[in-house]
Structure 1
């Protein structure tokens, strides 16, 4: 009777190990797919950040140029120049955010530093 019971327990243990191995494999697959989805979301967030920084710089340049032209009366030159400066600032911001251009070192900003 004891041998029959031990054999039944051993059979049950092997079944449980097989089921547990299947569950672990499924959990690992889900974790891998979640990791890929998270990387995709990070890429989308970075793209939205870069595009919004670029567009914001252009819009700010255009608005400042319009206001400059309106108050000084130099239409359309203020808007053209500040729009181009906004475009350049947007490109520089995107390159900095992407890591292609280094940000200035804080010690370079001190007056009298050469």
Structure 2
């Protein structure tokens, strides 16, 4: 009788072990899917950040050019020049945010002058 009981327990233990293994595999697959989705969201957020920085710099350039043209009366040259400056500033901001161009550090400039 004890042998039958031990065999039944061993069978149940083996069955539970198999179920746990399948559940663990499913959880690992879900975690991999979540990691891939998170990487996709990070890429989308980075793209939105870069595009908004670029567009904001152009808009600021246009507004400054327009204001300069209205007060000084240099129509259309102020807007053209500041539009180009805004475009260049936007490209520089995107390159800095993407890590392609390093930002200058104040400590390095101070030590170079000494």
Q: Same fold (TM over 0.5)?
A: yes
Structure 1: tracts of 5 or more residues without a match: none
The residue number in structure 2 matching 1:102 is: 102
The root-mean-square deviation of aligned C-alpha atoms, in Å, is 1.4
Structure 2: tracts of 5 or more residues without a match: none
Large movers: runs of 4+ above 3 Å = none
How far did residue 105 of structure 1 move?
Answer: 1.2
Q: Distance in 1 between matches of 2:113 and 2:60?
A: 31
3-state SS of 1:80 partner = helix
How far did residue 106 of structure 1 move?
Answer: 1.6
The residue number in structure 2 matching 1:75 is: 75
8 Å contact from structure 1 (residues 54, 91) kept in 2: yes
8 Å contact from structure 1 (residues 54, 93) kept in 2: yes
1:19-42 Cα offsets, whole Å, 9 max, x none, are 000000000000000000000000
The residue number in structure 1 matching 2:54 is: 54
3-state SS of 1:28 partner = helix
TM-score, normalization by structure 2? 0.95
Question: Quick check: 1:85 aligned with 2:85?
Answer: yes
TM-score, normalization by structure 1? 0.95
How far did residue 109 of structure 1 move?
Answer: 5.4
Q: Distance in 1 between matches of 2:113 and 2:102?
A: 19
The number of aligned residues is 113
